Amino acid sequence: MLEKFKIRNINFAITKYQRVRNYIRDLKENIKIQKNKDSKIIKEITNLIDNKIKHIKRIYIVLYFLYFGIYFSFFSIFFSDIFFLGEFAILIGKIVGFFGTTFFLILIYFTNKIIDLYYQDLNLLTSHIISIYMDNRLQNEKNSKNESKFNVFIDFFKKRGFW
């Protein structure tokens, strides 16, 4: 029965968050949810996942600004040669000089920790969705073949290169 279940190759997604979205989309396309309760839970979790990914994208913008602040001395070489960007380089140089590199490194550390926490939340939410889909899949296939939940779960991930 696993041959009927086709998943796109999600290993080539650009970001790990796109991999999560692709995986959920493929589960949705290939497994039918028959219980209304389960479909409502999946919709709620999918909305939570989309919300978490939006927050992560905002945090990445802050992270890129912090990296720019640390590497400003390198970037200021390019800015100083251009007439109207020279003043901009002086302003950013004062900001970086006031806060210092240590401050930016501390902020980068905490920003990365926040991103890791969001990613752990995504892992938990995704595993909950997977368990709902696998339970529904097993209920759909129960009449045709007696398989344990563990074996189907292992086969599912082995086929996709996750195990």
Closest-CA residue to 57 (of 1, 118, 127, 145): 118
- Interatomic CA distance for residues 69 and 57, integer angstroms: 19
Closest-CA residue to 42 (of 129, 134, 123): 129
Segment 50-74 mean pLDDT: 86
Position 108 scores a pLDDT of 92
pLDDT, tens digit, 9 for 90 and up, residues 113-161: 999 999 999 999 988 888 888 887 777 666 455 555 566 667 767 776 6
Segment 44-72 mean pLDDT: 89
Segment 53-59 mean pLDDT: 92
Position 130 scores a pLDDT of 87
pLDDT above 70: residue 10: no
Position 17 scores a pLDDT of 80
Position 13 scores a pLDDT of 58
- Interatomic CA distance for residues 15 and 142, integer angstroms: 36
For all residues of the chain together, what is the average pLDDT? 77
Position 118 scores a pLDDT of 92
Q: Which two three-digit tokens encode residue 143?
A: 């009449």
Position 69 scores a pLDDT of 77
pLDDT above 80: residue 45: yes
CA distances from 115 to 9, 16, 62, 66, 103 (A): 25, 12, 11, 14, 18
CA distances from 161 to 17, 61, 103, 158 (A): 18, 32, 41, 5
Q: What is the pTM of this model?
A: 0.64
**How large is the angle between the packed helices 36-70 and 16-30, nearest 10 degrees?**
170
